Amino acid sequence: MKTIDRVKLIATILTLTTAVGGSSAMASTSVHRVSAPVQISFWYGIGGQLSSDVQQLVAAFNRTHPGIHVTATYQGSYSGGGPEQQKLLAAIRAGDAPDLAQMEVHSMPVFALSGHLLPLTSYMKKSGHDKPNDFISGMLVSTQFGGQYYGVPFNRSVPVLYYNETMFKKAGIANPPATWSQLAFDAKKLTKGGGNHKVYGFEPLVDWWPFEASVWSGGGHIMSANRSQATFATAAGERILTMEQQLVKSGYAKVQTGPNYWTDTTQAFAAGQTAMDIDSPGDAVEVAKAVGHRFQWNTAMFPADVMRAVPPGGGDAVMLSSTPANLRPAAWTFIQWWTAPAQSAKWSEMTGYVPVAKGALVSPGYQAFLKAHPQMRAAIEELKYQHASPASAQYLTVVQYVQQGLQSAFDLGTPVSKAMEQTQQQINSSLGN
């Protein structure tokens, strides 16, 4: 997943500035001393243009907070236990962890349950705009464990359906599909041409992130209630995957393979090679630039089946438990600044990620942005359907096996039921079952 967010703290800032920048009495002495700003290290895991966007906002923070300097470092992708998460684990073991990190939402249990994250509940309760009820509904599903909040929503998304409005109109289809049955029907109607000029009606994203949504939407469960074993290899859990595979085998859908499957899926839609695909709102800016004025496009909520349920995507901001006590106020100031309504809205407009704060969503500026960019509305409407992933320290292992199973089903053509049964057995064996 790319997976591919957001200042009323004048009193806190003034306190920090006084503490680290010297008192007014010091300014009156004959020797003027300028104390160095508090240094905060921050690791993040989104690259490319998104990395540049992060650096732009961090630079803005540093300019407006002279008593604090945040050094933000890209550590490789955070997705699915990627390089950033592996480097973070290694740094923790070496006693050299950063003060703050961007934590991919599915990685949160690995770190929170092992005691490597600082609980932020007390900080949030005292905040002027980061209290739990200040966030958009469904936004906190990935941040809470054992009654404590360990993260603050930072850059967030949900899987949505991208669709080519121009193709829909030509095919006589008035609205995007709201259900998987309707999607399958529309995909057949939208498929045109042949050979190198063929346009496919749909392009599934062969990734464990939309896999979560397909299992839940079909009425299945990824793991047992006690999280001791995988349980997705059922008719309910496989229903949507089977539909997708049948579309591929019948020539109404195509899938991308290889290490760049996600980027290739996004680019195929932007090139007009597919009429629909599943993607992240974090790719909306890239799609808009690539499409230009060649055709009209929009997004819709992830189609429902038995129910509507989607996983959270993106990352949360966390503070490491090893962060020295004297640095924690400065680190928290940065988190609050980023998630304040003004920055939350700006980050969304820059990147396509959803705003995390209610205040950002209702601001006149962001409402004007939504009017000009209706492609952002679906993800926001979908947020209330977020479903928490299993809070297991082994969950990253689970999804890595799932990714292999999905590739077997869609890249090699293994029947979904066989691929998922084999994957479930591998997972349960690794869990000691």
Of 355, 379, 403, which residue is a domain's last? 379
Do 305 and 210 share a structural domain? yes
Would you say residue 30 lies in a domain? yes
% of the chain residues with pLDDT over 70: 92
251: phi > 0 → left, psi -120 to 50 → alpha, else beta; which? left
Q: What is the spatial order of strands in the sheet that 276-279 belongs to?
A: 276-279, 160-164, 297-301
* pLDDT the model gives residue 75: 96
Q: Residue 379 and residue 157: Cα distance in Å, rounded?
A: 7
Q: Residue 300 and residue 289: Cα distance in Å, rounded?
A: 19
Q: Say whether pLDDT at 14 is over 50.
A: no
Do 238 and 147 share a structural domain? no
**6 touches 340 (CB < 8 A):** yes
Give 113's pLDDT tier (boundaries 50, 70, 90). Answer: confident
Q: What is the pLDDT of residues 73-111, one digit of tens each?
A: 999 998 877 899 899 999 999 999 999 999 999 888 888
Q: Residue 345 and residue 163: Cα distance in Å, rounded?
A: 25
DSSP conformational letter for 179: B
**259 touches 269 (CB < 8 A):** no
Q: What is the pLDDT of residues 358-401, one digit of tens each?
A: 999 999 999 999 999 999 999 999 999 999 899 888 898 899 99
* pLDDT the model gives residue 3: 37
* pLDDT the model gives residue 433: 78
Do 345 and 423 share a structural domain? no
179: phi > 0 → left, psi -120 to 50 → alpha, else beta; which? beta
Do 23 and 134 share a structural domain? yes
* pLDDT the model gives residue 328: 98
CA 368, 370, 373, 374 dihedral sign is negative
Do 417 and 317 share a structural domain? no
pTM: 0.86
* pLDDT the model gives residue 35: 76
Residue with tokens 């090139």: 271
Pairing type for strands 38-44 and 100-104 reads parallel
Q: Residue 324 and residue 320: Cα distance in Å, rounded?
A: 9
Give 34's pLDDT tier (boundaries 50, 70, 90). Answer: low
Rounded to the nearest 10 degrees, how much is the dihedral formed by the CA atoms of 388, 140, 68, 57?
80
* Range of the structural domain that residue 183 is part of: 160-310+394-430
Do 93 and 200 share a structural domain? no
Would you say residue 406 lies in a domain? yes
Domain holding 398: CATH number?
3.40.190.10
Bigger pLDDT: 34 vs 9: 34
% of the chain residues with pLDDT over 90: 80
Q: Which range among 46-50, 158-162, 267-271, 300-304 shows the weakest confidence by mean pLDDT?
A: 46-50
Do 325 and 270 share a structural domain? no
Do 132 and 36 share a structural domain? yes
Would you say residue 107 lies in a domain? yes
Would you say residue 384 lies in a domain? no
* pLDDT the model gives residue 18: 30
For the chain, what is the domain count? Answer: 2
Do 267 and 400 share a structural domain? yes
Q: Say whether pLDDT at 21 is over 80.
A: no
Do 279 and 188 share a structural domain? yes
Q: What is the pLDDT of residues 224-278, one digit of tens each?
A: 999 999 999 999 999 999 999 999 999 999 999 998 999 999 999 999 999 999 9
* pLDDT the model gives residue 108: 86
Do 32 and 52 share a structural domain? yes
Residue 210 tokens, joined: 């939309």
DSSP conformational letter for 175: S
Would you say residue 320 lies in a domain? yes
Do 117 and 81 share a structural domain? yes
Q: What is the pLDDT of residues 195-224, one digit of tens each?
A: 989 999 999 999 999 999 999 999 999 999
Mean pLDDT of the chain: 90
